[in-house]
């Protein structure tokens, strides 16, 4: 990795970390989901970075993949909510991905929040070039189990590359002995343990309001001019990074109908909400790291 790319990863990490903490501090009883995510995303842009994906607000049994619509003004945090805030920033495509959990006004789930955070810290302490990633999964699973909770078996961390949020490697959160992959020197990874008192397995729920452009040969057969124009604008503006429904308001007068047509045509992927199968509470912690020979460097 040359020095210029390294500095971009570091800059993205610093910005994402700052935005994460700012967003976490805004999560209070009665605060609006929409206000929190728009503030976080504005901070990322004001600091000179791009938004790598819509700020995620995942509450209670929802583990990942939710961001409010442009008109979700009634969604507010309630006392006792367990909130995961997941934030991504990029500098010229070089991404930082980070998350933390906040409990609103109570301390019922402090132990579970510590479980995911300690699992992350232990994984970071052991990960390095050429270590089998199944060993990292075992460390995460064992740490979370030591607190009396389950690690979610079908959510993983992931490698990052320029303008690619999920670029190949998966970092398991359980002892997956079939995953014999090893990170290479200078790989960039997002490590994200999830702890739960539920099933330890997520299922797909309703729409997350999060999408991603993907090339499709069927795109050429889209007859609706508004949908075709929106596809072009989405690809130009967001590349193939995830984007939010609310971001389309200024590039399309009727984004909902156009997005539906683009999903049908295979041009747009729609992410589902990911929910613990037994509706258990979920906590998350996440950092982005750069892999070195004998350790790693946290950027977030």
Which structural domains are found in the chain, ordered by start? 3-204+276-298 (3.90.230.10), 205-273 (1.10.10.10)
pLDDT at residue 222 tops 80: no
pLDDT of res. 252 = 72
- Given 22, 126, 166, 279, which residue is catalytic? 166
Arithmetic mean of pLDDT, 36-64: 97
Task: Tell me if residue 286 is catalytic.
Answer: yes
Please state which of the ranges 73-87, 152-166, 262-276 shows the lowest mean pLDDT. Answer: 262-276
High-pLDDT (> 70) share of the chain, %: 97
| Residue-wise pLDDT tens digits, 145-203 | 999 999 999 999 999 999 999 988 999 999 988 878 999 999 999 999 999 999 999 99
Contact 122, 139 (CB under 8 A): yes
Q: Above 70 in pLDDT, residue 255?
A: yes
Structure confidence at residue 220 (pLDDT):
63
Q: Is 158 part of the annotated catalytic residue set?
A: yes
Catalytic (active site) residue 86: yes
Note the pLDDT of residue 221.
Answer: 63
Q: Does the pLDDT of residue 217 top 70, yes or no?
A: no
CB 63 within 8 Å of CB 274: yes
96-150 per-position pLDDT tens digit: 999 999 999 999 999 999 999 999 999 999 999 999 999 999 999 999 999 999 9
pLDDT band at 218 (very low <50, low <70, confident <90, very high): low
pLDDT(263) > 90: no
Higher pLDDT, 227 or 53: 53
Is the pLDDT reported for residue 290 higher than 90? yes
The torsion angle over the Cα atoms of residues 3, 8, 10 and 14, rounded to 10 degrees, is 160
166 in catalytic set: yes
* Catalytic-labelled residue, pool 41, 86, 118, 197: 86
Which 3-state string (H, E, C) describes the chain? CCHHHHHHHHHHHHHHHHHHHHHHHHCCCCCEHHHHHHHHHHHHHHCCCEEEEEEEEEECCEEECCCCCCCCCCCECCCCCEEEEEEEEEECCEEEEEEEEEECCCCCCHHHHHHHHHHHHHHHHHCCCCCCHHHHHHHHHHHHHHCCCEECCCCCEEEEECCECCCCCEECCCCCCCCCCCCCCCCEEEECCEEECCCCCEEEEEEEEEEEECCCHHHHHCCCHHHHHHHHHHHHHHCCCCEEHHHHCCCCCCHHHHHHHHHHCCCEEEEEEEEECCCCCEEECEEEEEECCCCEEECC
Residue 217 token pair = 């040969």
Which one of the listed residues 141, 192, 197, 245 is annotated catalytic?
192
Active site residue 141: no
Spot the catalytic one: 158, 176, 276, 287. 158
Residue 276 pLDDT > 90: yes
Task: Supply the pLDDT for residue 236.
Answer: 86
Whether the predicted model's global pTM rises above the 0.85 cut:
yes
287 is catalytic: no
CA angle at 233 for the pair 230 and 236, rounded to the nearest 5°? 150
Out of 97, 153, 187, 245, the active site residue is: 97
Catalytic hit among 65, 141, 286, 287: 286
Burial class of 3 by CB neighbour count within 10 A (0 to 12, 13 to 18, 19+): exposed
- Under the banding of pLDDT at 50, 70 and 90, the label for residue 216 is low
Please say if the pLDDT value at position 219 is more than 70: no
């Amino acid at each position: 990795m040359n020095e210029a790319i390294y500095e971009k990863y570091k800059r993205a990490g610093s910005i994402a970390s700052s935005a994460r903490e700012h967003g976490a501090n805004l999560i209070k009883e009665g605060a609006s989901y929409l206000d929190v995510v728009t503030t976080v995303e504005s901070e990322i842009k004001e600091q000179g970075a791009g938004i790598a994906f819509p700020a995620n607000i995942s509450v209670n049994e929802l583990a990942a993949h939710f961001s409010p619509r442009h008109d979700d003004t009634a969604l507010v945090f309630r006392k006792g909510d367990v909130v995961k805030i997941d934030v991504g920033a990029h500098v010229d495509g070089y991404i930082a991905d980070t998350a933390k959990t906040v409990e609103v006004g109570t301390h019922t789930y402090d132990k579970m929040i510590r479980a995911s955070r300690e699992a992350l810290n232990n994984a970071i302490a052991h990960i390095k070039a050429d270590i089998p990633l199944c060993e990292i999964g075992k460390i995460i699973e064992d740490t979370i189990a030591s607190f009396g909770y389950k690690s979610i078996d079908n959510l993983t961390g992931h490698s990052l590359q320029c303008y690619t949020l999920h670029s190949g490697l998966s970092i398991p959160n359980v002892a997956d002995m079939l995953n014999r992959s090893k990170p290479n020197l200078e790989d960039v990874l997002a490590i994200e343990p999830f702890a739960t008192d539920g099933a330890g397995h997520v299922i797909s729920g309703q729409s997350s309001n999060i999408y991603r452009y993907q090339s499709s040969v069927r795109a050429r057969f889209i007859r609706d001019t508004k949908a075709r124009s929106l596809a072009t604008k989405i690809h130009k503006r967001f590349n193939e990074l995830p984007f939010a429904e609310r971001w389309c308001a200024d590039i399309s007068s009727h984004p909902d109908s156009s997005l539906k047509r683009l999903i049908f045509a295979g041009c747009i992927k729609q992410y589902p909400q990911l929910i613990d199968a037994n509706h258990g509470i979920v906590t998350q912690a996440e950092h982005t790291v750069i892999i070195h020979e004998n350790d790693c460097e946290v950027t977030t």
